[in-house]
Amino acid sequence: MSAPETLQDWPHLFVPGEDDAPVLLTLHGTGSNEQEISALAPELDPRAGVLAPRGLVREHGMPRWFRRMGEGVFDVDDVVLRAGELAGFVTAAREHYGLGDRPLVAVGFSNGANIALATAMLHPDVVDRVVAFSGMYPFADRDEAADKDLHGVRVTTLNGRADPMAPLGSVTRLVEVLRDRGADVEQHLREGGHGISPQDLAAGREAVSRLA
């Protein structure tokens, strides 16, 4: 599915939050939706606004953000395309909802973390703050951000060391590429696998407070 022509045609929810609080761009994982991921926002900042779009790609009927050929095998061309679409959505939403200069922090889980990272790396003028739960390097063996200056981009990654869906090697490459391009990266690693642990949640709260 291609990007809707108007903001109103893109399934999403918006909660304004407090005027002096950040807006959390919450991005769901495969098979989830904007309603489920938005429930994470009050755990990170109860005063924040929430902007939660739904991924437009379908995999066996399940929403996600970009195509893949198998577990961990991404269609990189589609990643690039969908990151551009998400950047367009955010730009339109800022204007439509009158967000002005309010800080926007992309908070994604799994597939949502990957599209948040891809968008920040390709469109840092639109998304420059990311909290990525169980994310990984989104461009496979390619360096799509080679010509990007990511100074000013701030990213917090939160991963399990034994996560088969976001392997540590891919996470390490992500952090290295971001830092090489000038991004400020805070990395958190814990024991265990895929998911959001209480430890991750606590670190995520601190990250949102710091990034906002």
d(C-alpha 201, C-alpha 30), whole Å: 20
> How far apart are the C-alpha atoms of 135 and 195, rounded to whole Å?
10
Closest CA to 77 of 144, 132, 25: 144
**Residue 27, both tokens:** 């991005």
CA distance 35 to 102: 22
Given 75, 188, 194, 197, which residue is catalytic? 194
DSSP-based three-state secondary structure for 73: strand
Q: Which two tokens stand for residue 22?
A: 């950040």
Active site residue 163: yes
Counting beta carbons within 10 angstroms of the beta carbon of residue 80, is it exposed (0 to 12), middle (13 to 18) or buried (19 or more)? middle
Q: Choosing from 45, 163, 170, 200, which is the catalytic residue?
A: 163
Q: How far apart are CA 208 and CA 25, in angstroms?
A: 11
Let me know if 110 is a catalytic residue: yes
Is 194 an active-site residue? yes
Among candidate residues 110, 134, 170, 200, the one labeled active-site is 110
- What amino acid positions are annotated as catalytic residues? 110, 163, 194
